[in-house]
Structure 1
Amino acid sequence: MKLKITIILLLLSKLTFAQNKELGTWQVVNAQLSLSQKWKVFTELQARSNSFFNNFFYYEIKGGLSYSINNNFSFLVGTGRYATYADEGNFAKPFASEEFRIWQQVTMNQYLERLKIEHRYRAEQKWTGDGYRNRFRYRLNMMLPLNNAKLVPGTVYLNAYDEVFLNNKAPHFERNRFFAGAGYILTPVTTVQAGYVNQYNYSLSKRGGKNFLQLSLMLQFKYDDDRERIPNLMD
């Protein structure tokens, strides 16, 4: 109980000091298909807006393949296209940037009673109009089921993470992303989630933060229907 109270207080303090700017929206649709108990494929679509469900300025389309050594350790390779628009409006050209990306990822899970703790390490190779660069990301994610001991259909859960973005060119600390929200596992296939995202960029040309309402739909088509339904928070 003390651990749960501490986590909630940390989340509330983070929200309290977050920037008070116009709220944007961030929509995510993620689908995962288990080919076997070890191999999975996924695809994901995202769209982001500068104001509340208006002035959509960004989208991404990506997919990949993962391999699980066991329930607590997995590898993934992915690729995707990322487009950012410069003008006000909904996907109004010209593009501010277009990007092709490949990444490699390692995910490790820990459990503290019913609390699931995820450590995600990612290395990215990025090709843009400004050339090639590398980026490295680390995300600490915590997921806590409320009305069940495990993440099974009918479970309401809390989810929070913080992620740092580093690159090989100065300034090396590029971005911080914080999320806090809740989700509901509707069926063995379908999970919905909503929450708050604060993203702050530290690069000299794009310094500043943005707040978003994030809405996610996650679909999991499992090879083994008896396993726990841990939502696939790809991002």
Structure 2
Amino acid sequence: MGCAKRFPFILFFIAFSILPKTTFYGQSNDEERSGSWVVLYGDNKIHEKWSIPTVGILRHHEIFEKYEFAFIRTGISYKLSKSSTLTTGIAYLSSRNYTGSEEFRNATQFWVYEEYALKTKLFSHRFRLETRWKKNADDLHINNRLRYRFQYITPIYKNVHLRTFNEYFVNLEKPLFNQNRFYVGLGQTITPSIKVDIGYLKNHFQKSDHDVVRMSLIFKTDFTKKDVAQHN
């Protein structure tokens, strides 16, 4: 009964996230493409209030083919309360020309970011400010952007859960719109510290849409625990 009561909200959230952007972009996309993301996310507790987040992403222009970029991110998080966290850190991205065209060139990015996250039992909000240094063979460009992600996770059967989120990206310069990501998928809790997810990600840009199969492994480690081996 609990799951049934939540389905109307889930359907409303999906419709709210997809329909406005489909209407806006559907007739003007310069490029439709699909691909895959493999995501590794870890939270490593080093103190009662401090932890180190680690994120790695490997992205392909086609599913497991035509490598597009690799991304790593880390930092330091401080737990303000049971439900809220502050994080600051750095990230690095390396992209490769997958088309063979001179129009697209290999590039690197270095980021500094600050983040505030608020979580409840089912919902979470994430606000992030990013400063990105984007470098290719010709020039260096600095971009500042804001991101807001609303996420909903609910159990649907035993250790299986539904995860859906929508994230808006806004530049602090023109053009204001950067991109939007909508995701819906299923996940499973393998152990209390390991989860896996797989689902569909729709990535909207100014002139293109990307359809993505997103697979993720989420893990937690706790370096504050001291396990003492006992021998009989």
TM-score, scaled relative to structure 1: 0.79
Task: Verify: 1:98 aligned to 2:102, yes or no.
Answer: no
AA partner of residue 12 (structure 2): L
Partner SS state of residue 186, structure 1: strand
C-alpha RMSD of matched pairs (Å): 2.5
Correspondence for 2:193 among 164, 183, 189: 189
Q: For structure 2, which runs of at least 5 residues remain unmatched after alignment?
A: 226-232
Partners of 2:33 and 2:161 lie apart in 1 by 27
Cα distance between partner residues in 1 of 2:105 and 2:9? 40
Equivalents in 2 of 1:10, 1:56: separation in Å?
35
The letter of the residue matching 1:145 is P
Partner amino acid for 2:10?
Answer: I
Shift of 1:82: 0.8
- Letter of the 1:72 counterpart: S
TM-superposition CA deviations, 1:42-73 (whole Å, max 9, x none): 22211111112111111101111101112211
C-alpha distance 12-140 of structure 1, shift in aligned 2 (>3 A): closer
1:83 aligns with 2:87: no
| Letter in structure 1 aligned against 2:149 | R
Q: How does 1:59-78 map to 2 (within 5 A)?
A: 59-78=70-89
Structure 2 Cα separation of the partners of residues 101 and 182 of structure 1: 30
How far apart, CA to CA, are the structure 1 residues paired with 2:134 and 2:33? 28
Alignment correspondent of 1:122: 128
**Structure-1 residue corresponding to 2:169:** 165
- State the Cα distance separating 1:11 from its structure 2 match: 5.8
Tell me the equivalent position of 2:230: none
| Structure 1 SS opposite 2:120 | strand
Larger CA Rg, structure 1 vs 2: 2
The corresponding residue for 2:205 is 201
| Aligned residues of 2:36 and 2:212 also touching (Cα < 8 A) | yes
Determine which of 1, 9, 12 is the counterpart of 1:10.
12
- Contact kept, 8 Å, 1:165 with 1:173, in 2: the verdict is yes
The CA deviation at 1:4 is 1.1
How many percent of aligned residue pairs carry the same amino acid? 23
Distance (Å, rounded) in 2 between the aligned partners of 1:180 and 1:61: 23
Post-superposition CA distance 1:102-142 (Å, at most 9, x none)? 1000011234xxxx111100001111123212111000011
Contact 1:11/1:180 (<8 A) preserved: no
Match of 2:36 in 1: 25
Q: Which runs of 5+ in 1 are unaligned?
A: 149-154, 226-235
Tell me how many residue pairs correspond in the alignment.
Answer: 207
> Stretches of 4+ moved more than 4 A in 1?
11-22
